[in-house]
């Protein structure tokens, strides 16, 4: 396959624009973009020099005849356009979450298998350079057998951010869909992809958020925070999703191990915060500490008698990741590079597909049931 693969993008916001740039950086041809607001669509397409625009997805599939579609809309808007694209014979690159629930995600995975198209689920932070470094250290035996991982993050709960898709289950919102998916992907990438068991609880700490017109980009929504939150004419939307969670998981290690690897995932938004966001992999002979909620670095290695020592990123890992400063854009580009290789029949690294996207949505459904508690109030 020598011709450039043709890509049709769905979504004009942060993800849609990011996908467009990443596919172009990897020498694919972005032939069109579809959006829901004509003015915004035309502005973004002009900025990115995209030759074709439409507000009709099915018509765009017919007009553009893409090899690949890139889905950059909220998770609750994925099922219909992905189904149509798969039926059209397109490979699908989709940002997380795959859908708003496990059942619909499983059906998309099954449809893609039946139609023989390739899929990529963009839980992308597993490709951060310090995550790749930690994976290498574990594989090299630097900390011995790893029995436990700890993933802690804290985003200040911003109650004044305009109400939008991230506030509702139906639209694919919630911190499990938009934070936990990344951290679960990171943990499995470092230790082993097989998830054995899961348990957790969630809590909605937000309540409500102001309704504001004109929010089209997740990254710029703070610019539309109302000046006066006490305005009696201001409308409010009720959030029905979690903003805090605690999840315990057991993973099967890809390395020799006497027991499953236990993982604690903790995310909160209540203030004040105490610790920095971090990921820690504990081992029988040492430990690895990575700063940042998605492990953006730096990385520290603990060994007996040496204490914690910051480690320089190996040249080979630095050279393997795209030379892009923005973490999200770099990781999208890394994943798209491997996805395109696979479509072209070239050797590529394993990457997450709709299989993992479906599995993650089913796991999120289980956690949201919040029914893993054992009543001990009767004990004396």
Give the relative orientation of helices 14-25 and 38-48 as an angle to the nearest 10 degrees: 30
Q: Are 307 and 146 in contact (CB under 8 A)?
A: no
Q: Which CATH number fits domain 6-123+327-366: 3.30.70.890, 3.40.50.10860, 1.10.4190.10, 3.40.50.720?
A: 3.40.50.720
Looking at residue 237, the DSSP 8-state letter turns out to be E
Query: Within the chain, which residues score under 50 in pLDDT?
Result: 1
Global pTM exceeds 0.85 = yes
CATH 3.30.360.10 occupies which residues in the chain? 128-320
- The per-residue pLDDT for 194 is 97
| Pick from 153, 152, 155, 167: nearest CA to 269 | 155
- Distance, in Å, from the CA atom of 247 to the CA atom of 245, rounded to the nearest integer, reads 6
- The per-residue pLDDT for 2 is 53
Q: Rounded to 5 degrees, what are φ and ψ at 349?
A: -75, 150
- Distance, in Å, from the CA atom of 129 to the CA atom of 135, rounded to the nearest integer, reads 10
Q: What is the pLDDT of residues 91-138, one digit of tens each?
A: 999 999 999 999 999 999 999 999 999 999 998 899 999 999 999 999
Residue range 128-320, CATH number: 3.30.360.10
- R_g over Cα of the chain: 21
Between the CA of residue 73 and those of 17, 129, 156, 223, what are the distances in Å?
A: 11, 27, 24, 20
Q: What is the pLDDT of residues 232-245, one digit of tens each?
A: 999 999 999 999 99
- The per-residue pLDDT for 1 is 47
CATH 3.40.50.720 occupies which residues in the chain? 6-123+327-366
| Pick from 160, 89, 96: nearest CA to 122 | 96
Token pair of 357, please?
Answer: 């996207």
| 305-314: long-range pairs with CB below 8 Å, 24+ | 311/133, 313/129, 313/130, 313/133, 314/133, 314/136
- The per-residue pLDDT for 202 is 95
Q: Are 144 and 258 in contact (CB under 8 A)?
A: no
- The per-residue pLDDT for 271 is 77
């Amino acid at each position: 396959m020598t011709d450039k693969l043709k890509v049709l993008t769905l979504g004009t916001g942060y993800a849609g624009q990011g996908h467009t740039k990443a596919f172009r950086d990897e020498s694919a041809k972005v032939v069109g973009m579809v959006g829901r607001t004509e003015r915004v669509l035309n502005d973004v397409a002009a900025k990115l020099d995209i030759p074709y625009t439409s507000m009709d997805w099915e018509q765009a599939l017919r007009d553009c005849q893409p090899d690949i579609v890139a889905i950059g809309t909220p998770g609750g808007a994925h099922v219909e356009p992905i189904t149509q694209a798969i039926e059209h014979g397109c490979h699908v690159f989709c940002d997380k979450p795959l859908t708003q629930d496990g059942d619909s995600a499983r059906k998309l995975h099954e449809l893609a298998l039946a139609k023989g198209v390739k899929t990529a689920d963009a839980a992308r932070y597993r490709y951060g350079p310090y995550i790749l470094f930690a994976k290498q250290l574990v594989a090299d035996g630097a900390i011995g057998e790893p029995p436990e991982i700890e993933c802690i993050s804290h985003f200040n709960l911003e109650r004044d951010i305009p109400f939008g898709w991230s506030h509702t289950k139906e639209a694919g919102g919630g911190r499990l869909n938009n934070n936990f998916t990344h951290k679960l992907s990171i943990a499995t990438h470092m230790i082993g992809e097989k998830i054995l068991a899961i348990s957790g609880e969630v809590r909605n700490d937000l309540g409500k958020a102001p309704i504001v017109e004109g929010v089209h980009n997740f990254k710029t929504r703070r610019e539309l925070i109302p000046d006066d939150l006490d305005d009696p004419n201001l409308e409010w939307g009720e959030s029905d999703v979690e903003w805090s969670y605690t999840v315990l998981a057991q993973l099967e290690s890809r390395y020799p191990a006497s027991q499953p690897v236990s993982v604690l995932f903790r995310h909160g938004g209540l203030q004040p915060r105490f610790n920095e966001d971090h990921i820690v992999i504990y081992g029988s002979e040492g430990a690895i500490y990575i700063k940042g909620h998605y492990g953006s670095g730096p990385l520290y290695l603990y060994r007996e008698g040496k204490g914690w020592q910051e480690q320089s990123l190996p040249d080979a890992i630095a050279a393997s990741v795209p030379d892009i400063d923005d973490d999200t854009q770099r990781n999208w580009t890394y994943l798209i590079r491997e996805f395109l290789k696979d479509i072209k029949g070239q050797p590529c690294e394993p990457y997450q597909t709709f299989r993992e996207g479906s599995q993650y949505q089913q796991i999120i459904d289980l956690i949201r049931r919040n029914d893993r508690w054992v009543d001990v109030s009767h004990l004396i």
